[in-house]
Structure 1
Amino acid sequence: MSSIDPKSSRGYRNRNPGNIEHHERNRWLGLADQPTDGRFCRFTEHRYGIRALALLLMAYYDRHGCDTVAKIIERWAPTHENPTRSYAVAVAQRLGVRRDDRINVHDPHIMHGLVSGIIRFELGGLPYSEHELWEGLELAGFRRPKPAGIAEAAATDTGKGTIAATVAGAAAVASQAEPVIDALGRLPWQAAVALVIAAAIAVLIWRARRS
């Protein structure tokens, strides 16, 4: 795996992060007007390249019996021009399985791990956000799993944005309520802020009910 900036790689420039070779019979959704750079596909948007990568992996699984990371990577990156074994080891480690463990690529978690692992190896890193990855996977027919709990939800892009907005809003309320907080005496500041925010919410609810 290269140490170059993944955004300077051929696959990223082609919006084809799996480095899928161009064949006339494969008229992928989102192919560019000039669909090849001479060997590899060129897409108009990254999500179309991610979609094509996921669809090919499903074809390997459904049509060719590639039900382990080793079988998938041996077909994806044959040994005559790739370090196939180390490639498979890297992808399997990302998935948390062994090279020869059976997997189901129709599981969205498995497909996400395969796609992100292959992209990392092909481009020398992962230049995409979770949102961008799931845009491509959803185009391939996958539904993004709902977070299992608060901690996992907080780790998502949406969760991080919500937390940031909540913190910013709390800070604004707290700054406007400094005189009130001062009047609360020696309560820990976290408790004081919580009380002020709770009071503000109660007022908003009361007003909504009266309107």
Structure 2
Amino acid sequence: MAQAKAAPAPTRGERNNNPGNIDYSPNNPWRGKLPRDVSIEPRFERFDSALNGGRAAVKLIEFYKDRRGINTIRGVISTWAPPSENNTRAYVDAVARSVGVDPDEIVDLTEYRIMRPLLEAIIRHENGRVIYSPEEIDEMLRRAGIVNPAAPAIPPKPAKAPTTSTASAAGVSGGGVLATAIAVVTEPTLREAVAALDYKWLLAALAVAGVLLSAYAAYRAARANRAAS
């Protein structure tokens, strides 16, 4: 029976959650940066997640652009992996092919269409593979402020639908009619009596109120007649 192949061991960058193999520096307060421990990693930064490690790679490239005026793939990679310790020419050529531009072409490093393949190519070159999903790569970019313009916009939350149940509709209409009945009944005692009634008994209450109003009107008329005589 054939034995299952063991999963490949994590690379150094993967272990450190630093897929770009950024060198440690006490001057860089990266988001998610872990305290230095030379017994674990003597040279490179370590992060609490690969997403924050990827974000740091993007921010470092932006630093090259903003502070050093670098705006070509050759400029980025020559700074990232200097010839003193790397085959920088091969690195530059591989990344430029992935991005789809000439190594010396001026590019906008803040554009998703440039930074997305650039980041992925650096991760591949530094680790020999890319174990992160397309969604994770996009999240690394998003955390650095670069968003895929083709991504669907998050739809707004729908407005709360009005309640249309029979009970609720009856309550609303009942409340409106009840208020009308209260306004019509001008005698304080009758107003309080109508206000205390449940809307389910509204019709009966209106009928009673009508009778009472008629009786009261007749009573007032009778008193007026007696006073006049």
Q: TM-score, normalised by structure 2?
A: 0.60
3-state DSSP class of the match of 1:112? helix
Amino acid aligned to 1:40? F
Residue 16 (str. 1) matches residue 11 (str. 2): no
Pick the aligned partner of 1:141 from 142, 145, 154: 145
CA distance in structure 2 between the partners assigned to 1:17 and 1:83 by the alignment: 19
Q: For residues 94 and 71 of structure 1, what CA distance do their matches in structure 2 show?
A: 16
Residues 48-87 of structure 1: CA deviation (Å, up to 9, x unaligned): 0000000000110111111111111110000000000000
What number of residue pairs does the alignment pair up?
144
Partner of 1:27: 29
Query: Distance between the aligned counterparts of 2:151 and 2:51, measured in 1?
Result: 22
How far 1:32 moved relative to its partner? 2.1
1:102-124 deviations in Å (ceiling 9; x for gaps): 11101011111110010010000
Between the aligned partners of 1:51 and 1:136, the Cα distance in structure 2 is 5
Q: Give the aligned partner of residue 80 of structure 2.
A: 76
Point out where structure 1 has 5 or more consecutive residues left out of the alignment: 149-211
Structure number with higher relative contact order (C-alpha < 8 Å, ≥ 6 residues apart): 1
Choose the corresponding residue for 1:110, options 114, 117, 120.
114
Distance 2:22 2:114 in 1: 20
The answer as to whether partners of 1:90 and 1:117 remain within 8 angstroms in 2 is yes
The structure with the largest strand share of the pair is: 1
Q: Hey, what's the Cα distance between the residues in 1 that align with 2:127 and 2:63?
A: 22
Match of 1:41 in 2: 45
CA-CA distance at 1:92 after TM superposition: 0.2
Q: Could you say which residue in structure 1 is the equivalent of 2:126? A: 122
CA contact 1:6–1:126 (8 Å) conserved in 2: no
User: Relative to 1, partners in 2 of residues 1:14 and 1:70: Cα closer, same or farther, differing over 3 Å?
Assistant: same
In structure 2, the residue matched to 1:167 is: none
RMSD value, Cα: 1.8
Percent of matched pairs sharing the same residue: 40
More helix by share: 1
Distance 2:36 2:71 in 1: 34
Larger radius of gyration: 2
Counterpart contact for 1:35–1:42, Cα < 8 Å: no
Matching residue within 67, 71, 78 for 2:71:
67
* Distance across 2 between alignment mates of 1:98 and 1:143: 24
Deviation at 1:34, TM superposition (A): 4.2
Q: Distance in 2 between matches of 1:51 and 1:79?
A: 25
* Uncovered stretches (5+) of structure 2, i.e. residues with no partner: 1-6, 153-229
State the partner residue of 2:103.
99
